[in-house]
């Protein structure tokens, strides 16, 4: 027997068994985006290097280490086929990560594909006869199912396909190896979307929102109904532009579940900028769909691995084998552009999903173009539907490739902003930290949002100890969650509550203050901050004010460069419009006109 793996109890797995089972798994994964044949070829060839006598001595006799990932890559390169080249990258890096191409001048010391091939040629590839070059060539498809986005040359699309194939290969390799070493496959897969989950959501809505009397609740129901109706449309890019307080969380889930059912999609992925919003959103989803249907994957979540058998959620977080995933912008986009096996393993499970980008205005500006093109790839070539959701929708159409345009889900966005207007924004000029603290102390309950952690700490120390709170992204997630609960409880009970925070609180956090102070920032930040004031519409418009101020302290840190331009733009708009929250400012018709 030619051995691929040896378990601790002495059991042996043959190379033929491992190669075939990995190929079949990779084929199933890659069929999700029409590349099953490529997945099968990669799985069958990935461990050809284990046929070397040196590797057999390594695994059976604990001999010296032997390079084994280059042999399959070399065999595929020798086919002189584009598909073979793409798979060569995947196989060459299936343990150490996708390599750069390098050049033909690279030596054996270079950590590139050419460097790895140089090492393989030096090793002379002494293999047992298992596959010949013609066998490998016949595994490859005659053409690639790639439709380059925007009519470009296809380089971005080809690199994206390499990562998706790499994901299929490494996940299949891990799963088959894990099953053999354990003696059985672990309970890793949390499943995919089902009619039962859709029915559970519909029952929840019927039980909790069927008889609404308040105008605010009736409007939220209308928004949710619009989302469900629009969900029957074709797959593509959508925008959901709803003011703060409009119930975007449940409405977007209504769209996602209905759209997934309509198009037989496998999962829903929520991509959110802050862990504070993730925890809140995931808790809502778990309360509706059940703990076993929702996977949180971000830095703030931990799993109890003290037991010998790790939880299904812990294992599913490695490859996103779950019906509904809640993750961060960082986790999502870093994975799409990563080269490490641990980051890329999950990518193939993104195919055939509804992806909701909550607070779309928080997409990272320095990397906006690659992020938009990654979204476009997923929509164009991998069966995904993307939803850009925000109360302050950014103008992103110009960044999408030609022929791809977002369809607005809510028909009358301008009217929604007029209906949900619950605050006034007042520009207060320059205040020192002491003046700001004094104004907060005049209020029974108030929120102040500043631009830096240093300012937040200084202002916090100026407030009376009773009922004061400080929030920062540096806080451990568990502590931050506890603070949110304490603040919410004091607000509801009418107790003194003065909160100082950085911008983490202004997007999607369900807290309702009678007054908000916001240090000058971009217009979207001002409007998002206003969403924490009179959130439930229980106070009059004149009594619900957001004061925008300029910090006047000489020891105040300089304004971060990323904020300077948005601040200048906000100033210009405030000089032109008396109401910066008006529909013509927030949602100009040229940007948000519904597309039929």
Dump the DSSP string for 487-554: HHHHHHHT--EEEEE-GGGSSS----BSEEEEES--HHHHHHHHTTBSTTS-S-GGG-EEEEEEE--T
As a whole number of angstroms, the distance between CA 344 and CA 354 comes to 19
142 and 57 housed in the same domain = yes
For residues 564 and 480, give the distance between their C-alpha atoms in angstroms, rounded to a whole number: 29
- Beta carbons within 8 Å of 492's beta carbon, 6+ residues apart: none
Stronger pLDDT, 548 or 310, i.e. the higher one: 548
Tell me, yes or no, whether 10 and 129 share the same domain. yes
Question: How many C-beta atoms surround the C-beta of residue 521 within 10 A?
Answer: 21
Classify residue 585: in a domain, yes or no. no
Q: 408 and 432 share a domain?
A: no
241-267 tens-digit pLDDT: 988 778 889 999 999 999 999 999 999
Instruction: Give the span between the Cα atoms of 351 and 384, in whole angstroms.
Output: 6
Asked if residue 274 has pLDDT above 70, the reply is: yes
* Of 453, 503, 455, nearest in space to 474 by CA: 453
Q: What DSSP character marks residue 85? A: H
Q: Position of tokens 């806080």?
A: 475
Query: What's the pTM value of the predicted model, to 2 decimals?
Result: 0.83
What's the CA angle centered on 594, arms 591 and 596, to 5 degrees?
135
The last residue of one of the domains, among 402, 417, 432, is 417
Residue 407 within any structural domain of the chain = yes
Q: Rounded distance, CA 165 to CA 345, Å?
A: 10
Tell me whether residue 588 is in a domain.
Answer: no
The CATH number of the domain holding residue 499 is: 3.40.50.300
Can you give the pLDDT at residue 500? Answer: 96
* Residue 595 included in any domain: no
Q: Are residues 409 and 426 in the same domain?
A: no
Percent of the chain residues past pLDDT 90, beyond the cut: 43
Give the pLDDT confidence of 352-372 residue by residue, as tens digits: 999 999 988 788 878 888 999
530 plus 392 within the same structural domain: no
Q: What is the pLDDT of residue 164?
A: 97
Q: Is there a single domain that holds both residue 122 and residue 216?
A: no
pLDDT digits (tens, 9 = 90+) for 503-537: 888 766 788 899 999 998 877 788 888 888 888 77
Angle at 201 between CA 477 and CA 595, to 5 degrees: 90
Q: Which residue has the higher pLDDT, 46 or 107?
A: 46
In-domain check, residue 410: yes
Same domain, 27 and 136: yes
pLDDT of amino acid 596: 34
Specify the pLDDT at position 573. 63
Residue 128 CB-half CA count within 13 A: 14
CB 87 within 8 A of CB 79: no
Clarify whether residues 348 and 213 are in a common domain: yes
Residues 406 and 539 in one domain: no
Top-confidence range, 15-24, 116-125, 139-148, 317-326: 15-24
Query: Does residue 168 share a domain with residue 204?
Result: no
- Please tell me which residue, 333 or 8, carries the higher pLDDT value: 333
Please determine, for residue 554, whether its predicted confidence score (pLDDT) is greater than 70: no
554 lies in a domain? yes
Instruction: Count the domains in the chain.
Output: 3
Q: Which of 13-17, 201-205, 503-507 has the lowest mean pLDDT?
A: 503-507
Decide which of 124 and 145 is more confident.
145
User: Between 485 and 129, whose confidence is greater?
Assistant: 485
Residue 577: its pLDDT value, please?
A: 59
Computed over every residue of the chain, the mean pLDDT equals 84
324 in any annotated domain? yes
DSSP string, 214-275: SHHHHHHHHHHHHHHHHTTS-SSEEEEE--TTS-HHHHHHHHHHHHHHHHT--EEEEEES-H
For tokens 């619950």, the residue is 422
333, 427, 443, 497 from 467: Cα distances, Å: 39, 27, 12, 5
**End residue of a domain, out of 356, 385, 417:** 417
Domain boundary among 417, 449, 473: 417
Of 318 and 14, more confident:
14
> What is the predicted pLDDT for the residue at 67?
79
| Residue 335 and residue 428 in one domain | no
Backbone angles phi and psi of 97, in degrees to 5: 110, 155
**Is residue 487 predicted with pLDDT exceeding 70?**
yes
CB-based contact 100:112 (threshold 8 Å)? yes
Residue 232 has pLDDT above 90, yes or no: yes
List, in order, residues 6 or more apart from 580 with CB less than 8 Å away. 425, 523, 526, 527, 570, 573, 574
**Residue 487 belongs to what domain range?**
422-580
CATH assignment of the domain containing 78: 1.10.3210
User: Is 449 within the bounds of a domain?
Assistant: yes
Residue 189 has pLDDT above 80, yes or no: no
Residues 157 and 206 in one domain: no
């Amino acid at each position: 027997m030619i051995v691929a793996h040896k378990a601790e109890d002495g059991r042996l797995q043959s190379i033929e068994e491992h190669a075939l089972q990995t190929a079949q798994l990779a084929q199933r994964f890659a069929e999700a985006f029409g590349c099953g044949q490529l997945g099968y070829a990669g799985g069958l060839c990935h461990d050809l290097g284990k046929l070397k006598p040196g590797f057999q001595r390594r695994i059976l006799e604990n001999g010296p280490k032997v390079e084994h990932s280059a042999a399959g890559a070399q065999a595929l390169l020798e086919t002189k086929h584009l598909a073979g080249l793409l798979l060569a990258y995947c196989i060459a890096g299936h343990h150490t990560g996708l390599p750069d191409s390098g050049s033909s001048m690279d030596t054996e010391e270079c950590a590139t594909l050419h460097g790895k091939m140089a090492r393989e040629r030096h090793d002379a590839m002494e293999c047992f006869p298992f596959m010949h070059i013609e066998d490998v060539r016949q595994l490859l498809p005659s053409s690639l199912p790639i439709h380059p986005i925007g009519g470009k040359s296809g380089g971005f699309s080809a690199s994206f396909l390499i990562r998706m194939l790499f994901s299929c290969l490494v996940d299949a390799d891990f799963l088959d190896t894990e099953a053999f070493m354990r003696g059985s496959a672990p309970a890793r897969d949390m499943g995919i979307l089902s009619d039962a989950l859709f029915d559970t959501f519909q029952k929840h809505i019927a039980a909790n929102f069927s008889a609404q009397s308040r105008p605010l609740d009736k409007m939220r129901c209308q928004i949710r109904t619009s989302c469900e109706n629009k969900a029957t449309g074709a797959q593509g890019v959508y925008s959901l532009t709803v003011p703060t307080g409009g119930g975007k969380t449940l409405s977007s889930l209504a769209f996602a579940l209905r759209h997934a059912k309509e198009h037989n999609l496998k999962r829903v992925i929520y991509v959110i900028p802050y862990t504070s919003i993730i925890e809140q959103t995931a808790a809502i989803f778990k309360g509706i769909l059940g703990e076993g249907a929702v996977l949180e994957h971000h830095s703030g979540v931990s799993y109890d691995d003290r037991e010998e058998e790790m939880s299904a959620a812990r294992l599913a977080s490695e490859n996103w084998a779950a019906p509904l995933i809640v993750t961060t912008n960082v986790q999502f986009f870093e994975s799409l552009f990563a080269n490490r096996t641990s980051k890329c393993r999950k990518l193939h499970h993104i195919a055939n999903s509804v992806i909701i980008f909550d607070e779309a205005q928080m997409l990272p500006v320095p990397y906006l173009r690659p992020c938009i093109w990654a979204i476009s790839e997923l929509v164009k070539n991998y069966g995904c539907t993307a939803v850009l959701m925000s109360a302050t929708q950014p103008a992103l159409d110009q960044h999408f490739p030609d022929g791809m345009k977002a369809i607005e889900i809510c028909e009358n966005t301008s009217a929604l902003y007029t209906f949900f207007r619950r605050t006034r924004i007042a520009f207060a000029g320059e205040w020192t930290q002491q003046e700001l603290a004094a104004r907060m102390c005049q209020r029974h309950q108030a929120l102040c949002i500043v631009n830096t952690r240093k300012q937040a700490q200084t202002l916090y120390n100026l407030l009376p100890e009773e009922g004061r709170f400080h929030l920062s992204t540096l806080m451990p997630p568990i502590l931050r969650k506890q603070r949110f609960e304490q603040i919410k409880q004091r607000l509801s009970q009418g107790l003194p509550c003065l909160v100082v925070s950085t911008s983490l609180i202004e997007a999607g956090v369900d807290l309702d203050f009678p007054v908000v102070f916001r240090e000058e920032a971009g217009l979207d930040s001002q409007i998002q901050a206003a969403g924490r004031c009179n959130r439930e519409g229980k106070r009059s418009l004149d009594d619900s004010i957001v004061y925008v101020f300029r910090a006047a302290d000489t020891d105040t840190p300089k304004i971060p460069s990323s904020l300077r331009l948005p601040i200048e733009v906000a100033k210009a708009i405030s000089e032109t419009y008396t109401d910066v929250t008006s529909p013509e400012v927030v949602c100009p018709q040229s940007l948000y006109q519904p597309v039929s």
